[in-house]
Structure 1
């Protein structure tokens, strides 16, 4: 599934997503674990930021300025309205380019929607966007492959290079793996935290 098509699908459910997650505790414990690896403050990048909410608030409280990226125009509008002091961009991480380096990068439940062939390039890009001593947290599926699933009366695409390939890719890009967890077992949902020495 092309990211532009995914953006259109999320446009349709943006307000529902906002209402469900603006005060949600989903992923907060995992996210706060990652933030503990930072020295606090600096630039943060939220890939697939959605409507903003809980993660942006935590980063703001820790002194980070946030750049959010999402393929859904409606999500970006909501995030900009919710957090006018931060910067949100309607862009695809596959093609987005920046000269900035970030002290903290999160891609929570977002890059698993990317085309399978874009998994390695995008994860490598996130590694390269990290500043020295930066922290990366992202989620992925525990098995290699791609599939579609029905959700909100629509078809959504998912892909993953699996646990071993993700870990090897992080190591190859010079990162140190600090944490790996199947946090919703028996669901195939994995999150990892890595740092750039």
Structure 2
């Protein structure tokens, strides 16, 4: 049994998959950022890794319509089942992003509203994972908080955990792992108040 809100994230989404889909809706307010992500990604290829893909809608669906080959990863079995049924020609894997099976390399990696469910100390080593999974020149996009710490929201009456590093540490971790920040907005009012990072892996980094 989960011992904290941070440990309960996967179970919370698994048990409330339909509620999450209904609340999330199909409005793609992220499209301008997704288009910037795709501009980098499609310059090098079309293989995309979506960490915390949920049901595959609407973000992975949009990437698919743009010609991408998507591999989606999520820990919630019920959401992965829906993604597999909706997009059977793509790959959907039930796994924890902190403990991934061998996946190869991708031309783009996105962790939208998923990475920030990890504790701060769990986020730091993920940047080495991001680098390992990305081809040179690949795009990386994720959302975060604005300052180091933890915050607890609510979802279906249960605590919903969020963790974050501060901006300077994200910059340092990206740089140390071979990424250059090409876009960053704190609490973007055009994107539901999301704090967004878009980076590109340096072409001389293997």
- The partner residue of 1:114 within 110, 115, 118 is 118
Measure the CA separation in 2 of the matches of 1:67 and 1:60.
10
| Number of equivalent positions | 197
- The partner residue of 1:194 within 196, 199, 203 is 199
Measure the CA separation in 2 of the matches of 1:16 and 1:2.
18
- The partner residue of 1:161 within 162, 165, 189 is 165
Deviates more, 1:23-32 or 1:7-16: 23-32
Query: What's the TM-score, normalizing by structure 1?
Result: 0.91
Question: What does 1:43-192 align with in structure 2 at a 5 Å threshold?
Answer: 43-185=47-189, 189-192=194-197
What residue ranges of structure 2 are gaps of 5+ in the alignment? none
Deviates more, 1:86-95 or 1:34-43: 34-43
- The partner residue of 1:24 within 27, 32, 36 is 27
| Deviation (angstroms), 1:25 | 1.4
Query: In the alignment, is the contact (CA less than 8 A) between 2:182 and 2:198 conserved in 1?
Result: yes
Query: In the alignment, is the contact (CA less than 8 A) between 1:177 and 1:195 conserved in 2?
Result: yes
Q: Which runs of structure 1 show a deviation greater than 4 angstroms over 4 or more consecutive aligned residues? A: 1-4
**Partner deviation per Cα, 1:109-162 (whole Å, 9 max, x = no partner):** 001111221111113211221111110010000100112222220011111112
**Partner deviation per Cα, 1:33-76 (whole Å, 9 max, x = no partner):** 21112216421100000101222223223322111011111110
| Deviation (angstroms), 1:189 | 3.2
2:152 is paired with a residue whose SS is strand
Query: In the alignment, is the contact (CA less than 8 A) between 2:64 and 2:70 conserved in 1?
Result: yes
Query: What's the TM-score, normalizing by structure 2?
Result: 0.87
Measure the CA separation in 2 of the matches of 1:72 and 1:166.
27
What residue ranges of structure 1 are gaps of 5+ in the alignment? none
1:9 lines up with 2:17 in the alignment:
no
Measure the CA separation in 2 of the matches of 1:112 and 1:73.
20
